[in-house]
Amino acid sequence: GEDVEQSLFLSVREGDSSVINCTYTDSSSTYLYWYKQEPGAGLQLLTYIFSNMDMKQDQRLTVLLNKKDKHLSLRIADTQTGDSAIYFCAEDNYGQNFVFGPGTRLSVLP
Amino acid sequence: NAGVMQNPRHLVRRRGQEARLRCSPMKGHSHVYWYRQLPEEGLKFMVYLQKENIIDESGMPKERFSAEFPKEGPSILRIQQVVRGDSAAYFCASSPGTGGAFFGQGTRLTVV
């Protein structure tokens, strides 16, 4: 079955880079996603990468995909206190049944 | 283009009552997903629907839970005879088919 794993916690200092890692098992995933959830809120789609790409950059966000190792990462440059949230990695299979990881709780220290 | 709308945002039910959660997808989206999030936990898939069809309900308990997405109107997640363990945040997401799912703000169900 499909499974997505992430480390549960990450702490960084304000201004540093954050790297959140994710591994997945479904090699037929079409897209892989990163979502952000702030306390008491829904999930915000941050970015996504098509499975035949290996990198995507969007302002402070860089997504790296290693399809061979089924490893996805999200790098946030110049991390700010407003970036403190839970970050979910997710995969899909042609749009069916998005599978989410457990989420990585990012804490940004002043 | 309004985002995914869920209502109510907060719902309190006594044990044994019914809970009805509504989700209006984004305009032009015909795919709807329901997820449950327990406190301090990740998202668990419940059901995936397209208009008038249940595509995958493998994550939904067989008893007391049902979902629909009629031709007209919002998608409804119905929980009958609620128990304390049903207390959670229920998120709906919609998608045009590819490129990601967009989430609503969730309905927080509390069973007392």
Quick check: A22 pLDDT over 70? yes
Extract the tokens encoding B54: 């249940």
pLDDT of residue A25: 84
**Chain B residues whose beta carbon lies within 8 Å of the beta carbon of residue A99:** 45
By Cβ distance, the residue of B56, B91, B97 closest to A97 is B56
b or e along B16-54 (b: 16 or more beta carbons within 10 Å of the residue's beta carbon)?
eeebebbbbbbeebebbbbbbbeeeebbebbbbbeeeee
Using the 8-state DSSP alphabet, how is residue B9 labeled?
A: S
How confident is residue B33, by pLDDT bands cut at 50, 70 and 90? very high
Tell me which residue in A98, A101, A102 faces B101 most closely, judged by beta carbons: A98
Whose CA is closest to B23, among B111, B96, B107?
Answer: B107
Taking residues A21-45, what's their average pLDDT? 87
Return the pLDDT at A1: 53
Which residues in chain B have their CB less than 8 angstroms from residue A44's CB?
103
pLDDT at A52: 87
Residue A95 pLDDT class (50, 70, 90 cuts):
low
Flag whether residue A46 sits within 8 Å of chain B, measured between CB atoms: no
Residue A93 binned pLDDT confidence (cut-offs 50, 70, 90): low
- The contacts of residue A82 (CB under 8 Å, 6+ apart) are none
- Average pLDDT of span B88-101: 87
State the pLDDT confidence band at B7, using cuts at 50, 70 and 90: very high
pLDDT of residue A76: 97
Across residues A71-98, what is the average pLDDT? 88
| pLDDT one-digit tens code per residue, B75-90 | 999 999 999 999 999 9
The pLDDT value recorded for residue A94 is: 61
A97 close contact with B: CB closer than 8 A: yes
pLDDT on residue A96 = 65
